Amino acid sequence: MSAAARWDAIVIGADVNGLVAAHYLARAGRRVLVVEQREAPESRLDVGWVPPQIVRDLELAGLRIEQPDPWIAAPLDGGGRLELRRDIGQSVENIRRVSPTDAARWPEFCARMRRLAGVLERLYVQPAPDVETRQIGELLSLAGLGLHVRRLGKQTVIDLLRILPMSVAELLDDWFENDTLKGVLGAAGVWHLRQGPRAGGTAFNFLHHHVGSPAGVFRPPRSNIGQVLAALPGVEIRLGDGPLVLLGKDGRAADVRLGSSGDEIDAPLVVSSADPRVTFEPLKPHLDAEFVRAVGNIKARAVVVRGTLALDRPADFRVLCIAPSLDYLERAYDDAKYGRTSARPYVEACAENGRVELHVQYVPAADPALAGAVAAALGVPAGRVSLETPGSHCYHGELTLDQILFMRPVPGWSRYRTPIDGLYLCGPGTHPGGGIAGAAGRNAARVILQEKVRS
Amino acid sequence: MAPPVTYDAIVIGGGHNGLVTAAYLARAGKKVLVLEKRPRVGGAAVTEEVFPGFKFTMFSYVVSLLRPEIIRDLDLPRHGLHVLPLESTVTPMENGDYLAAWGDHDETRRELYRHSPRDAEAYDEYGHLMHHMAHAVRPILAMVPPDPTSLDPRDLLALLRLGRHFRGLGAERLHALVKLMTMSSADFLDEWFETDVLKATKSASGIIGTFLGPRSPGTAYVLLHHYMGELDGVFRAWGFAKGGTGAISDAIAAAARSFGAEIRCDAAVARVLVKGGRATGVALENGDELSARVVVSGLDPRRTFLELVEERELPAEFVADIRRFKFRGSSGKVNVALDALPSFTCMPGVGRHHRGAISISPSLAHVERAYDDAKYGEFSRRPYMDIVFPSMIDPGMAPPGKHVMSVFVQYAPYHLNGGWTDAKREAFGDAVIDTIEGFAPGLKSHILHRQVLTPADIERITGLSEGNIFQGELTLQQLFFLRPAVGWAKFRTPVRSYYQCGAGTHPGGGIMGASGRLAALAVLGDGA
């Protein structure tokens, strides 16, 4: 007998979403194998909200969720820094030094944004609303969502309708006048987007990255959830094997071929947290042309490179943001628009356990001049900056308004299913997207388990 | 004793929407007065003899989409409306080649094939989809937007019906609609075509009247407009009114008069009279007071609410919303009198292309760079332009043997660094002419006169805030039930008996007359 009978499900990718999906399936009694291309699990902290449902369902012990305080510091023109803290009152004091008007508006802004992020949180822990449905259950859930939003007050309805399609620049210009403050906040609106802060939809991206944070904190939390999941018993993880999904003889995604060993393992269920474009590549001959075109049209233009900064003494900041104004961000984007790396990039440095990690944007392609530009932005000698080579988009698809909810990963296939029987997606390329730790994995597993019960 | 009420309705502003409202109200038997501050009606849709013998459509330049029901209801052809088709669009390229779209579909397809066989294939499928999308959107343009924040059963029912309409489209069209509403025109076109000049020319239509570039999300939606005219079977996508755009205003005014409406020019309104939260009439700048049961403003939201009425008559939240409403005029107009037609390098001599539009959009980068300049407060050094020669279509526009050239230019930001001055206006005019000269050497030697209009000029002359020709940007957060503010998108206002009918309401500018018609129906529906 082949190895076929050994596994009920193969999960591709030992990242947070893959592992969350695997553990939900395992808890429902499935025998699950996780295959991962990398040799070792990721040692970096995971960025993004960890939905409390996951912590509860999978009983994640030892989970640490960190949010630095102050959560951001930005250099001021006349020297010194603007520091924003978890405590709204303290932030108000700090903002007052640069703009009393902005300081007065901060508490109200934080409360309004928090309420909107709360709506997103509710949307994110379930599959995307199915707007085409004719099923009563779905319609009720849509109506329930509408009612939930309405109960938050008329202002929330107005804010949602107005703000979601807006640019983050318009949103911030409505509230604030200080460039440093607007730069720090606007940067969250362009995270992982090949768009500038003046582009419509960046206000949504700003709220997306506010999800899971308390009011007044506009950078996502970091956690060790990846490490906790990797150590959690219940699933087998095979590292260092590049997986490839192949079509089985009966038209189901039954075989997963492992690149280096050449082993073929089959299981009735394959769940991929890999990039949808990568997952579907070998399956193209079996897919309908419209679907292949839709997958090819996924916009996933990577613009962020990560790196590290070597300092000779401990960093005097937790998180330092170099995005002095909305115009600075917009000009950084202008370069990327024409395919060039930003001459003056947006840089964020995060100090943790003696390491300083860097987020650098916009980098559409490798550029030898970039390390120098990053060092100049941070005011350190060039040799101290080392950058990774630009890779593919870590969200597997930009979070633009045409690629969220029922449009993600491709229109009409937002519910983790694929045109191939037995093959499901569960990565950040699906709803609710990157920057949310494990929500897609959990939603996918729940869809799979519900379907199995029904069939 | 209160003076007797003189009119059933006073319409402030004799732009085309105000005239449409007046015509519909008069047609329903109401006693209507239109008050226009300029010596002639039309607002931004006027034809004027700028230089002796040379007539120009001053601000707008082509007829887009006058609603067919308006043409029918008001019997406009009988009142002098005569639309001539603009049959082609030719885009000169930097390398001396061109891209042309002709009136004949097969010819256009062959032309496209020359640039890219793949795009020629995709062209039909694209046109097919857009045609269907336009069908799907059309009913929405003709409906009064429901209030999404209201718990009134009528609003909930209307929202439900709207939901059902969208679901009735079927998955494929619904998804395409979401993409059109949210994507940039460049990204949307990237999914279909590979020819850069084709994408540049098509996407240019998505930026008209906005402060956005072809790579800005939200611009794809306007691509649809080009397909909406066609399916009404009345106009081709774009047309040119005999006598200029002013002739359309004149036809609507004639229709209104035939129904008994009174139109008074040189009558600027200073403010709306409000008593006990109800509009009772208007005060003119000359001090006269006129009373009416209903007052309808065709001016833009800023003037309608922040200038014509006292702030204390309006809820604070609403005032804040109107203050936030974005205008940011971004386009200018250059009107040129010529002693001969220019010869374009890509199509030397005089030809049928002079009877259509010439689009200066040689590449996506050209249009996007033009936007970059404006983003930081400068006019485009090499702008995007849409050029027509109205005298080729309607010889009455220029003296025999001479011509008028109408150049719509983007971008000329209202908020220019340092503000607009005479010197800057001329520098802007030079940038326009120099850029065209690059594609049509010798143009300059044919110029007899030149009139340059910046958004500041448009504001000064027409009163349109920040010179925005659409009475407020057509961006997603300013459309439908958000136009001009949530809760007040049904043509009513927080002041009883005071209505709004300008392009600052749904469905907005570029769709001529629809706001005016819907406003009139709202007034009549309220039993005024």
Q: What is the ipTM of this complex?
A: 0.91
Contacting residues for B329 by C-beta, under 8 A, at least 6 apart: B412, B413, B414, B455, B458, B459, B464, B466, B467, B468, B469
Per-window interface: B 313-342 vs A, CB < 8 A: 324, 326
Asked if B507 contacts B471 with a C-beta cutoff of 8 angstroms, the reply is no
- B23-63: pLDDT as tens digits: 999 999 999 999 999 999 998 888 999 999 999 987 766 55
Provide the total of helices (H) and of strands (E) in chain A, helices listed first. Answer: 15, 18
Per-window interface: B 358-387 vs A, CB < 8 A: 365, 368, 372, 375-376
- Residue A200, chain B, CB below 8 Å: the answer is yes
Q: Which residues of A touch B216 (CB under 8 A)?
A: 198-200
Check residues B205 and B348 and name the one with the higher pLDDT: B348
Burial class (CB in 10 A: 0-12, 13-18, 19+), A450: exposed
- Residue A162, chain B, CB below 8 Å: the answer is yes
Q: What is residue A2's predicted lDDT score, i.e. its pLDDT?
A: 46
Check residues A287 and B224 and name the one with the higher pLDDT: A287
- Residue B486, chain A, CB below 8 Å: the answer is yes
Q: Which residues of B touch A400 (CB under 8 A)?
A: 182-183, 217
Give the length of chain A. 455
- B112-154: pLDDT as tens digits: 999 999 999 999 999 888 888 888 888 888 888 998 888 888 8
Nearest chain B CA: its distance from A290 CA (Å): 10
Number of CB pairs < 8 Å for A and B? 84
Q: What is residue B203's predicted lDDT score, i.e. its pLDDT?
A: 92
Nearest chain A CA: its distance from B478 CA (Å): 8
Helix or strand run (H / E) with residue B10: strand B7-12
Is the Cβ pair A162, B477 closer than 8 Å? yes
A336 in helix, strand or coil? helix
Nearest chain A CA: its distance from B473 CA (Å): 12
Counting residues of chain B whose pLDDT is more than 90, the rounded percentage is 71
In whole angstroms, give the CA distance from residue B208 to residue B215.
13
Helix or strand run (H / E) with residue B372: helix B364-375
| pLDDT average, residue stretch B230-238 | 46
- Residue A316, chain B, CB below 8 Å: the answer is no
To the nearest whole number, what is the mean pLDDT of chain B? 91
Nearest chain B CA: its distance from A332 CA (Å): 12
- Report the b/e string of A425-443 with b at 16+ CB within 10 A: bbbbbbbbbbbbbbbbbbb
Per-window interface: A 51-110 vs B, CB < 8 A: none
Task: Please provide the DSSP assignment of A13-62 as one string.
Answer: --SHHHHHHHHHHHHTT--EEEEESSSS---SPEESB--HHHHHHTT-TT
Question: Is omega for the bond preceding B484 within 30 degrees of 0, making it cis?
Answer: yes
Query: Helices marked H in B169-240 — which ranges?
Result: 171-182, 185-190, 196-204, 225-231
Is the Cβ pair B171, A330 closer than 8 Å? no
Give first-to-last CA distance, chain B, whole Å.
22
Contacting residues for A419 by C-beta, under 8 A, at least 6 apart: A287, A288, A291, A413
Q: Which residues of B touch A157 (CB under 8 A)?
A: 148-149, 486
Tell me B377's DSSP state.
T
**Amino acid letter, A430:** T
In whole angstroms, give the CA distance from residue B208 to residue B478.
15
Q: What is residue A259's predicted lDDT score, i.e. its pLDDT?
A: 66
Task: Please provide the DSSP assignment of B66-104 as one string.
Answer: --HHHHHHTTGGGGT--EEE---EEEE-TTS-EEEE-SS
Task: Please tell me which of the candidates B148, B174, B218 has its beta carbon nearest to residue A200.
Answer: B218
pLDDT by residue for chain A (455 residues), tens only, comes to 344 458 999 999 999 999 999 999 999 999 999 999 888 777 788 999 999 999 999 999 999 999 999 999 999 988 999 999 999 999 999 999 999 999 999 999 999 999 999 999 999 999 998 877 777 877 788 788 888 888 888 888 888 888 989 999 999 999 999 999 999 999 999 999 999 999 999 999 999 999 999 999 999 999 999 999 999 999 999 988 777 777 666 666 667 777 667 778 888 899 999 999 999 998 888 899 999 999 999 999 999 999 999 988 889 999 999 999 999 999 999 999 999 999 999 999 999 888 899 999 999 999 999 999 999 999 999 899 999 999 999 999 999 999 999 999 999 899 999 999 899 999 999 999 999 999 999 999 999 999 865 55
Is the Cβ pair B179, A402 closer than 8 Å? yes
Q: What is residue B232's predicted lDDT score, i.e. its pLDDT?
A: 46
| pLDDT average, residue stretch B469-496 | 91
Q: Which residue has tokens 């306007």?
A: B222
- Residue B149, chain A, CB below 8 Å: the answer is yes
Task: Please tell me which of the candidates B174, B191, B482 has its beta carbon nearest to residue A132.
Answer: B174
Q: What is residue B229's predicted lDDT score, i.e. its pLDDT?
A: 59
Task: Please provide the DSSP assignment of B22-52 as one string.
Answer: HHHHHHTT--EEEE-SSSSSBTTS-EEEEET
Q: What is residue A256's predicted lDDT score, i.e. its pLDDT?
A: 75
Q: What is residue A101's predicted lDDT score, i.e. its pLDDT?
A: 98
In whole angstroms, give the CA distance from residue B96 to residue B99.
10
Q: Nearest CA to B424 among B453, B403, B399, B395?
A: B453
Contacting residues for B48 by C-beta, under 8 A, at least 6 apart: B40, B55, B56, B58, B246
Written as six digits, the tokens of B235 are 């106009």
Provide the total of helices (H) and of strands (E) in chain B, helices listed first. Answer: 17, 18
Nearest chain A CA: its distance from B31 CA (Å): 38
In whole angstroms, give the CA distance from residue A265 to residue A164.
44
Q: What is the strand order of the sheet A65-66 is part of?
A: A46-47, A222-223, A65-66
| pLDDT average, residue stretch B354-373 | 96
Q: Which residue has tokens 């999941």?
A: A229
Q: Which residues of A touch B221 (CB under 8 A)?
A: none
Is the Cβ pair A400, B215 closer than 8 Å? no
- Decide the pairing of beta strands A9-12 and A32-36: parallel
In whole angstroms, give the CA distance from residue B444 to residue B485.
46
A417, β-bridge pairs: A424
Q: What is residue A5's predicted lDDT score, i.e. its pLDDT?
A: 57
Lowest pLDDT segment from A404-418, B320-334, B499-513: B499-513
Counting residues of chain B whose pLDDT is more than 70, the rounded percentage is 95
Task: Please tell me which of the candidates A174, A334, A412 has its beta carbon nearest to residue B175.
Answer: A412
Is the Cβ pair B151, A174 closer than 8 Å? no
Nearest chain B CA: its distance from A218 CA (Å): 23
Q: Which residues of A touch B315 (CB under 8 A)?
A: none
Q: What is residue A430's predicted lDDT score, i.e. its pLDDT?
A: 97
B249 in helix, strand or coil? helix
In whole angstroms, give the CA distance from residue B422 to residue A268.
75
In whole angstroms, give the CA distance from residue A389 to residue B19.
62
Nearest chain B CA: its distance from A415 CA (Å): 14
Chain-centre distance for alpha carbon A278:
18
Q: Which residues of A touch B215 (CB under 8 A)?
A: 199, 337
- Residue A411, chain B, CB below 8 Å: the answer is yes
- Decide the pairing of beta strands B54-57 and B47-51: antiparallel
Is the Cβ pair B182, A330 closer than 8 Å? no
Asked if B228 contacts B137 with a C-beta cutoff of 8 angstroms, the reply is yes
- Residue B167, chain A, CB below 8 Å: the answer is yes
Asked if A394 contacts A303 with a C-beta cutoff of 8 angstroms, the reply is no
Is the Cβ pair B182, A402 closer than 8 Å? yes
- Residue B415, chain A, CB below 8 Å: the answer is no
Q: What is residue B512's predicted lDDT score, i.e. its pLDDT?
A: 77
B303 conformational bin, left if phi > 0, alpha if psi -120 to 50, beta if neither: alpha
Nearest chain B CA: its distance from A407 CA (Å): 7
φ/ψ of A340, rounded to 5, equals -100, 155
Q: Which residues of A touch B174 (CB under 8 A)?
A: 131-132
Of the ranges B18-32, B81-95, B213-227, the best mean pLDDT one: B18-32
Nearest chain B CA: its distance from A200 CA (Å): 5
φ/ψ of B270, rounded to 5, equals -90, -45
- Residue A330, chain B, CB below 8 Å: the answer is yes
Task: Please tell me which of the candidates A132, A163, A201 has its beta carbon nearest to residue B167.
Answer: A132
Asked if A120 contacts A207 with a C-beta cutoff of 8 angstroms, the reply is yes
- B405-437: pLDDT as tens digits: 999 999 999 999 999 999 999 999 999 999 999
Nearest chain A CA: its distance from B438 CA (Å): 23
